[in-house]
Amino acid sequence: MYAVPLTEDAELRPLEPWQAEEFLTHMDRARSGIDPWIPWASRSTDLDSARATLQGYADRQATDTGRIHGIWLDGTLVGGVMFVHFDPAAGTCEVGVWSEPAGQGRGLITAAVRHLIDYALVERGLHRVEWWNTSHNLRSRAVAQRMGMRRDGVLREYFLHNGVRHDMEVWSVLAHEWPGAGA
């Protein structure tokens, strides 16, 4: 397995179905803070459902349509990043993130997102990376802004979650805007 150092005490690694128990323990710590933004947080509530969430991303990785990575701080899973969708033929992808409080405020999400954008735009040669967040998720919006993304627009009352409709902001960065990516 590979690990990408994010800081002296944190690393980015693949998150795989065999890690479902660790993922579930992490979800139990993180759920209340991420459930409003990440729909699978409320669906990953036991070992079978946690494994199913991770298996879904493993299946996406096998077809090159998505993948998920965890962020470990001092050996404990505290968050992660994912390609929600990944479409090499169209040249587009969407990056998503989550974190429990122990992983927040340390720049871990920003560093991990930078790695995913580099992978998509530089290594794989995609044209566009998208970032979707609800208008109320200011922390998520701040990551998009730190990555130099531009807000493309707002999809009003686009996303239904727990009986509430949320506006979704769509942000993006294009290959010619990203350092190191081709024009």
For residue 183, tell me if it sits in a domain: no
pTM: 0.93
90: containing domain: 4-177
How many domains are there within the chain? 1
Classify residue 32: in a domain, yes or no: yes
Q: What is the pLDDT of residue 58?
A: 97
Q: Within the chain, which residues score under 50 in pLDDT?
A: none
Burial class of 103 by CB neighbour count within 10 A (0 to 12, 13 to 18, 19+): buried
CATH number, domain of 25, equals 3.40.630.30
pLDDT tens digits for range 63-89: 999 999 999 999 999 999 999 999 999
Residue 182 lies in a domain: no
Q: Would 50 be classed as within a structural domain?
A: yes
In a domain, 162, yes or no: yes
